[in-house]
């Protein structure tokens, strides 16, 4: 498997996020702590993007067109995802976050090496590999530091 090191890194980061979330004070889970989002909103956001990535991987594996999953307006996608899941219980949101990360790991492990270069955007510039790298960077450079900063303040 060509990208095992990346999949392992994603798995490690996902597990680190789970640990951070698990230690987050229960009474602060609904509070707005990240600009305009609560920890619950952040988990909804992460799970929504994980599911979008999963659908891309599935389409690529089936020789479908992953560009059908392309999102032009990232902010709108986030607003809709959070609005749709806002009334879900903490337990459901948390489980969705955990399972979507685990499922993304599993499907990435099954993706044939050649499929990582499949493009996922209408302009054929973004590949599954570049998108997966972006997801890793987003976890590493944004979500984990944000949670650590709030947790230790």
**Alpha-carbon separation of residue 135 from 43, 67, 70, 143 (angstroms):** 14, 17, 14, 10
Domains of the chain, start order: 4-151 (1.20.120.450)
| DSSP-assigned beta bridge partners for residue 34 | 37
Whole-number pLDDT of residue 1: 64
Q: Which residues of 107-134 are buried (b: 16+ CB within 10 A; e: fewer)?
A: bbeebeeebbebbbbeeeebbbbebbee
Q: Are 1 and 131 in contact (CB under 8 A)?
A: no
pTM for the model:
0.92
- Give pLDDT < 50 ranges for the chain: none
Angle at 83 between CA 64 and CA 145, to 5 degrees: 85
Alpha-carbon span 80 to 45, nearest angstrom = 10
Whole-number pLDDT of residue 150: 80
Alpha-carbon span 31 to 40, nearest angstrom = 9
Alpha-carbon span 44 to 49, nearest angstrom = 9
Tokens 């991987």 map to which residue? 57
């Amino acid at each position: 498997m060509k990208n095992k090191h990346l999949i392992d890194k994603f798995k490690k980061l996902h597990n680190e996020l789970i640990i951070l979330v698990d230690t987050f004070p229960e009474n602060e889970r609904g509070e707005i702590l990240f600009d305009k989002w609560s920890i619950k909103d952040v988990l909804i956001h992460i799970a929504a993007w994980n599911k979008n990535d999963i659908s891309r991987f599935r389409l690529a594996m089936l020789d479908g067109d992953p560009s059908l999953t392309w999102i032009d307006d990232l902010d709108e996608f986030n607003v809709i995802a959070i609005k749709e899941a806002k009334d879900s219980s903490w337990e459901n949101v948390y489980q969705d976050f955990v399972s979507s990360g685990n499922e993304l790991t599993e499907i990435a492990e099954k993706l044939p090496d050649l499929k990582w270069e499949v493009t996922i955007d209408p302009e054929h510039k973004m590949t599954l590999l570049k998108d997966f790298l972006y997801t890793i960077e987003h976890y590493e450079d944004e979500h984990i530091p944000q949670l650590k900063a709030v947790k230790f303040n």
